[in-house]
Each structure stands twice: as C-alpha cells, then as structure tokens.
Structure 1
Amino acid sequence: MGGTLPRLPTGIVAAVTIDSDPVPGPLRAAVLLLRAEAVALGLVAVWLIWSDLTATTTDLTSALLVTAFAVGGAAALWALGGALSRRRAGARAPAIVLQLMLMPIGFFMIQGGMGWLGVPLMALGLGVAGLLVSGPTNRALGFGDPAGR
C-alpha cells in the first residue's frame, strides 16, 4: 500500500510566482506623468471649488459643471495611471484620448496669449501619448508580437 497514494506537497506555503518582467521605463514614465497630471488637475479642481464657494456673482450651473469636469478628469487620469501600472491594456486608449485632448486646449491657450502654458501642455500630451504607443509599452501591455519581431 505504500506507493499507491499520491504524495502530498510538503509545507504550508503555496508556491509563489514572481513577475520577473519589470514595468518598462516608458510605461513607468507614462504612469508617473498621468498621476502628475491628475494631481495638477485635482489642485485646479480644489481652486475651482473654493472659487465657487467664495464668488459673489456667478452662473452657478456653469461653475458647477466646470468644477465637476475638473474633478472627473483628475479621477479619470489617476485611475488610468493605476490601471496602466497594473498592465491593463484597455486603459491605454482612454489615456491616449485624454492626452490628445491637450492639443486643442494648448492651441486655444496659444491663441489667447498664454503660449507659455499652451506649448508645454501640447508637448506633454504628445510626449505621454508617444510613451503609451512605444514598443516597450506595447509589449508590456500585450500588443504586437511578444517575440519582438
């Protein structure tokens, strides 16, 4: 009877698989920049909330919609950064769309005489979008040929 039963694994700790493939640099940089954008937009949202509460005359509906847009944008950027850091491929397209939305914003800032802010915003949007479509990011998110061909 000694050899008829299956041998049970010894120990009480289950085998652990370690992800030996670190997050590539371009993806890590994109996540950091998305999170930085979320913090910056969150600070703008805080300022808008303060402005909404202390304004003497205002169009309340418009003020609340702009504030809600800023809060939602900050939350979306933060969530997309988190999803990309966990290598969720579905988060890449919305993140790219949000980055490309910086193009018209920057353009109208330049047209309005605020080129000192519009040009860096456009560069930031193009830079993060470029990081999100780079080869290492594609491979990390599971796009393309995993063998690198």
Structure 2
Amino acid sequence: MTIDSDPTPVTLRWAVRLLRVEAVAVGLVAAWLVVADLTATTTHLTSALLVTAFAIGAAVALWALGSALLRHRAGARAPAIVLQLMLLPIGWFMIQGGMGWLGVPLIALGLGVTWLLVSPPTTRALGFE
C-alpha cells in the first residue's frame, strides 16, 4: 500500500497555476489603469474608477479562487469556470476587432482552464464523485 503525499491531481494544480497567472496579468492591467487614472489630463472620473475597480476585483477574485481550489474547496469551481467562460466572448470580440493574436490565446486559455476544472481527476479531488 502506498500513501499519496500530494492528493492534489496535476489537472487541479495546473488550473490553479493558470488562474494565478491570469490574476497577475489582470493585476498588472489594474496597476496600469491606476497610473493612467492618475496621469490622465481629461477623463470621466466615475467611469475610470469603475473600470479600475473592476480590474482590481477580477485580479483578487482569480487569486482567491485559485487558493480555494488548491485547498479543495468545491464551491470555488463554478465561479472559476464562469470567469473562464467570460474569456470566450472577450476573445471573440478581439478577433473581430483585428486582434486575433490576443483573442485566440484568450479563447484557448478559457477553454483549457475550464477543461482542467471539469476533468475527472479534478472532479474527484473536489469531492464531486
């Protein structure tokens, strides 16, 4: 009989890694937005602050969901999947706007992390089976 020292499957570990990479990327965008808000000569302050707050909130949510999934909290899977599926229309509109170099990887990322989150090893680790 062998004892598994790490009950977290590789699919779940990769999903958490990718969620954290997304959190860092969105956090960098949020930092850029803060700088843009502070240095803009003219802006609609309410809109600028709302967009910045949304980016900060998304970064925090992605990091928190990754942390919860790493602790095998089953309730974090659905919100994480929703955030990943939100990448599909974003990527599609980027492709339509001529930014396919960014839109295609975003769609692939969203689908890939979603697949990792619903894969059988992840499902078992989170206690859904």
TM-score tier (shorter): over 0.9
Alpha-carbon distance between aligned partners in 2 of 1:90 and 1:19, rounded to the nearest angstrom: 24
- What is the aligned counterpart of 1:60 among 42, 45, 51? 45
Alpha-carbon distance between aligned partners in 2 of 1:70 and 1:19, rounded to the nearest angstrom: 38
Matches within 5 A, 1:1-149: 20-144=5-129
User: What is the CA deviation profile of residues 104-136 of structure 1, one whole-angstrom value per residue up to 9, with x for unaligned ones?
Assistant: 110111111111000100100000000000000
TM-score, with structure 2 as normaliser: 0.95
Choose 1 or 2 for highest CA Rg. 1
TM-score, with structure 1 as normaliser: 0.83
Runs ≥4 residues deviating over 2 A: 18-22
User: What is the CA deviation profile of residues 33-86 of structure 1, one whole-angstrom value per residue up to 9, with x for unaligned ones?
Assistant: 000000000000000000000000111111111100000000000000000000
- Secondary structure of the 1:23 match is coil
- Secondary structure of the 1:124 match is helix
Aligned residues: 127
Identity of matched residues, %: 80
Deviation at 1:90, TM superposition (A): 0.2
User: What is the CA deviation profile of residues 3-37 of structure 1, one whole-angstrom value per residue up to 9, with x for unaligned ones?
Assistant: xxxxxxxxxxxxxxx97452100000000000000
Alpha-carbon distance between aligned partners in 2 of 1:21 and 1:85, rounded to the nearest angstrom: 11
Alpha-carbon distance between aligned partners in 1 of 2:128 and 2:27, rounded to the nearest angstrom: 31
CA RMSD between the two structures: 1.2
Alpha-carbon distance between aligned partners in 1 of 2:81 and 2:72, rounded to the nearest angstrom: 15
Higher helix share: 2
